Amino acid sequence: MTHTLSATPTQPPQPPVGRLDPDPTPFANRRALILAAMEAAGGGALLLPTAREQRRNRDTHYPFRFDSDFYYLTGFTEPDAWLLLRTFAEPRAVLFCRDRNPEQEKWDGFRLGVERAAAALALDDAFSLDELDTKMPDFLASAANVWAPILEHEAVDARLRQWKSALERKTRQGINPPQAWYDARALIARFRQIKDRYEIACLETSAAIAASAHRAVMQVTRPGITEAALEGKLLATFRELGAEGPAYPPIVASGANACILHYVENRATIPDGALVLIDAGCEYRGYASDITRTFPANGRFSGAQRALYEIVLAAQNAAIAATRPGAPFAAAHDAATRVLVEGLVDLGLLSGEVDTLIAEKRHLRFYPHRTGHWLGLDVHDVGPYQIDGQSITLQPGMVTTIEPGLYIDPAEDIPRDFWGIGIRIEDDALVTETGCTLLTRDVPVAIDEIEALMRGG
């Protein structure tokens, strides 16, 4: 991916207010699919709030991140809003959002507002958030079923109970309250698990930006630089190339810090001879990338580092080959685990028959996590991994990470050369009709390619 900066200063184009994308069509299409699924299940209404701003300390707030399900169906990025979908009456798609407030917008930024929301988001109608409690019971009247986030947030649960009670008090007026309440998250997850074309395009862009950032960091790494400096380079490159920011707190772990799976302090000075493990991805239009690379700070793998790295890379290649339509999701993990255990036996770090070692879970000492997870609007995206105890079957449009690793803590039975080495290699894979496509291979994984990149090649 190339990024060109203008030679002369100009006024940058402003993003659409309350949205990351000015085109509401993909979100309207998803609402239509959800409404059809609701109709097939007996019809009714779906209620969904977005997130609220959270205070960090005193009058400072954490950066706001919208609820992923809410964004999936609306494209709306402001806090404090509710979506209503109905199968049985018009309007079918309604937003409750904050009113325009010029004084508040002077401090906190523009709001889309009630008057513009319906047209901008391709909804049927929009109302002020101040009208939510008075209008919602009437909108829910005659709903046979209701889908809502249940037992998730105390304030949301209280509001749902309030509306339910209001409906039950109207039975004498001939209004029948909903007969069943279902989990809206589970319904939406069925659709989010298989990505549409718009989502795939966003994931591809997110992956390309993250890959560029990883390459940039590898090229500036040297002994004596700090983990914090590398994190800063990552974050700056994400923003420079158009991402909203990181998809999760970056892991920049040098030396033995890489054996801490979710190390996020990122404060150490990187010594000569150490490996650097970077696990970092960005968000583009809400969609996450998730890349891990491990490379030597001085640009040259040692013998022990090389031996372990080659095992992890072989394990990842085996998992990639197992990621194809019709295969169980667990097949990639099983394939990677076998290669890792075989390699550990060859190095003398484990002893015994491979099948027995796997059955006894002896490898968990060196490989304590799974090989992948779903990826999408959330870095650990929604969707089941098993149904009725059986691994889910991969389908085209699913996106998963493939991330085997090895982590060698110091121990008397481990040769000292291997102590404190942590290695993980992670790519994002789109399941296709014939196999899978890696979205993140713009960052090298082969040892000779890594060393060449760090030399400036």
The answer, yes or no, to whether residue 13 has pLDDT greater than 60, is no
- What is the model's pLDDT at position 7? 38
As a whole number, mean pLDDT of residues 340-356 equals: 98
Residue with tokens 């095992």: 311
Say what the pLDDT of residue 456 is. 87
- pLDDT, one tens digit per residue, over 117-142 is 999 999 999 999 999 999 999 999 98
What's the predicted TM-score (pTM) here? Answer: 0.94
pLDDT beyond 80 at 457: no
Q: Over 70: is that where the pLDDT of 114 sits?
A: yes
Q: Which amino acid is it at 413?
A: D
Mean pLDDT to the nearest integer, 31-57: 97
**Contact predicate 408/418, CB 8 Å:** yes
For the chain, domain boundaries: 25-192, 197-454
Query: Which of these ranges, 2-11, 174-183, 402-411, has the smallest mean pLDDT?
Result: 2-11
Range in 63-72, 158-167, 327-336, 415-424 the model is least confident about: 158-167
Per-residue pLDDT for 6 more than 50? no
For residue 281, give every residue at least 6 positions away whose Cβ sits within 8 Å of its Cβ, in sequence order, or none.
Answer: 206, 210, 246, 247, 248, 288, 289, 290, 291, 379
Question: For position 391, what pLDDT does the model report?
Answer: 98
Round the average pLDDT of the chain to a whole number and report it.
95
Q: What's the confidence (pLDDT) of residue 69?
A: 99
Catalytic residue positions? 59, 262, 279, 290, 369, 373, 380, 403, 407, 424, 426
- pLDDT for residue 22 is more than 50: yes
Task: Quickly state the pLDDT bin for 14 (edges 50, 70, 90).
Answer: low
Which residues lie closer than 8 Å to 333 by C-beta, 6 or more apart? Answer: 319, 370, 371, 372
pLDDT for the residue 175: 80
For the domain covering 25-192, report its CATH number. Answer: 3.40.350.10
Query: In this predicted model, what pLDDT tens digit does every residue of 274-290 receive, in sequence order?
Result: 999 999 999 999 999 99
Let me know if domain 197-454 sits in CATH 3.30.450.20: no
Scan for tokens 């019709």, then name that residue. Answer: 326
